[in-house]
Amino acid sequence: MPIIVNLDVMMAKRKMSLNELSDKVGLTLSNLSILKTGKAKAIRFSTLEAICDALNCQPGDILEYLSESYVK
C-alpha cells in the first residue's frame, strides 16, 4: 500500500502512549491500533484533525505517500 501511516513515529516523538492518545482523541484503542499498524482502509478528516491536535503535528507528519515503484 503506497500510503504509509507514521502514527507510531509521531507518538514516540511526543512520548505519548496509545492509551493517552485514545483518551485525548476519543477513539477506542482497537481503532487507533488499526490505524497505527497501517491496516485502516480510510480515516475521517475529523479523526485526523483530532490526532494532529493531540500530537501537535501536521497531517503530513502522520501520512506519507510512496509510489508503487518505491514499494517493490
State whether residue 66 is helix, strand or coil.
coil
- For 56, the domain range is 3-71
State the total domains in the chain: 1
Q: What is the per-residue pLDDT across 22-60, written as a single tens digit (0 to 9) for each?
A: 999 999 999 999 999 989 999 999 999 999 999 999 999
- The enclosing domain of 23 has a CATH number of 1.10.260.40
Residue type (1 letter), 68: E
Beta bridge partners of 63: 5
Average pLDDT for residues 1-14, to the nearest whole number?
91
Q: What is the per-residue pLDDT across 61-71, written as a single tens digit (0 to 9) for each?
A: 999 998 876 65
